[in-house]
Amino acid sequence: MKPGNLFSGIPDRVEDELFETLWKTDHFHLERIVSAGQATPPGEWLEEPADEWVIVLAGSAGLLFEGQGEPTVLHPGDYVHIPAHRRHRVEWTAGGQKTIWLALHYPSSPK
């Protein structure tokens, strides 16, 4: 098995957000996301069918949940769990530097 590095293979310029699957099974999907000033378009919301856990490894971002007054600001090492179907949006990612995220998507636990 060949090891990888989360910070390698990132282009100098990032025009569009980059999504790279690092590992995928029937039970989860792990991806690296690289942002450079991107945000969710105005008026749009993200709503995933599975739970999601995200961590910022580099850069920073503002994550807004529906009904929340101000975005939650994430810096390196900050993580958040986003329950399935919880409407949210990326208000901003750091301009002038890359924001590198890990996102783990997995089925919701039965309640």
Q: What is the DSSP string of 32-71?
A: EEEESS--PPTT--B--SSEEEEEEEES-EEEEETT-SSP
Q: Residues, the chain, total? A: 111
Q: Determine the Cα–Cα distance for residues 87 and 83; give it in Å rounded to an integer.
A: 9
The one-letter amino acid at 111: K
Residue 89's alpha-carbon distances to 46, 71, 74, 82, in angstroms, are 6, 9, 13, 11
> What does the pLDDT look like over 61-99, one tens digit per residue?
999 999 999 999 999 999 999 999 999 999 999 988 999
Confirm whether pTM is higher than 0.85: yes
Domains of the chain: 18-106 (2.60.120.10)
> What does the pLDDT look like over 17-48, one tens digit per residue?
999 999 999 999 999 999 999 999 999 999 99
